[in-house]
Amino acid sequence: MAKGKKRKVAPGDVASNRTASHKYEFLDKYEAGLVLQGTEVKALRESGAQLKDGFASIRDGEIWLYNVHIPPYGPASRDNHEPERPRKLLLNRKEIDSISGRTVERGLTLVPTRLYFKDSRAKVEIALAKGKDRFDKRESLKRKDQERDVQRALRDAGR
């Protein structure tokens, strides 16, 4: 892979959180809209957003996204947005109630996994996740290695 090029999960993704799948076990995934300012949308279209340290939490019956870095938009010098401000997520009331009921369980958290555009609207995929133990991380790495070896053997056998 060339330096400076980051691998993305799917074509059309603005940003993806690949470390989240290593740290967490995903139980459910939800698609949510984002409340953004104009300069944030333009900065997202230029890409460069970072989800690595991001998380979501429920406050006053609404879900908010924290620590997601959207860089300032260059041409909008003085009218720029704050790069790591909290952003409101747009979900149905039924989904919010379901998520809030499940996050009460011990060890569950909301983690952003993807940031992308669907039609012309910015969307974020958040996952209801449970933290992995160190043993689980080693086990999942071992399983990945085994799957890779099997795929390599199948590919070589087909030649």
Residue 16 · residue 125 · CB < 8 Å: no
pTM tops 0.85: no
- How does residue 43 score in pLDDT terms, banded at 50, 70 and 90? confident
Task: Specify the amino acid at residue 113.
Answer: T
Q: Token pair 């959180």 is at which residue?
A: 17
pLDDT at 38 over 90: no
Q: Which CATH superfamily is domain 13-132 in?
A: Small protein B (2.40.280.10)
User: How do the domains of the chain map onto residue ranges?
Assistant: 13-132
Q: What are the φ/ψ torsions at residue 18 (nearest 5 degrees)?
A: -80, -25
- Rounded to an integer, the average pLDDT of 1-20 is 69
Q: Which residue has the higher pLDDT, 68 or 10?
A: 68
- Per-residue pLDDT reduced to its tens digit, 110-147: 999 999 999 889 999 999 998 887 777 788 888 889 99
Query: Would you state the structure tokens that stand for residue 39, as one six-digit string?
Result: 């300069």
**What's the pLDDT score for residue 5?**
56
Q: What is the mean pLDDT of the chain?
A: 86
- Rounded to an integer, the average pLDDT of 93-114 is 88
Q: Which residue has the higher pLDDT, 100 or 79?
A: 100
Q: Token pair 């995903």 is at which residue?
A: 26
Count of alpha carbons within 13 Å of 104, Cβ hemisphere only?
6
**What's the pLDDT score for residue 1?**
45
DSSP of 60-79: TTEEEEES-B-PPPTT-STT
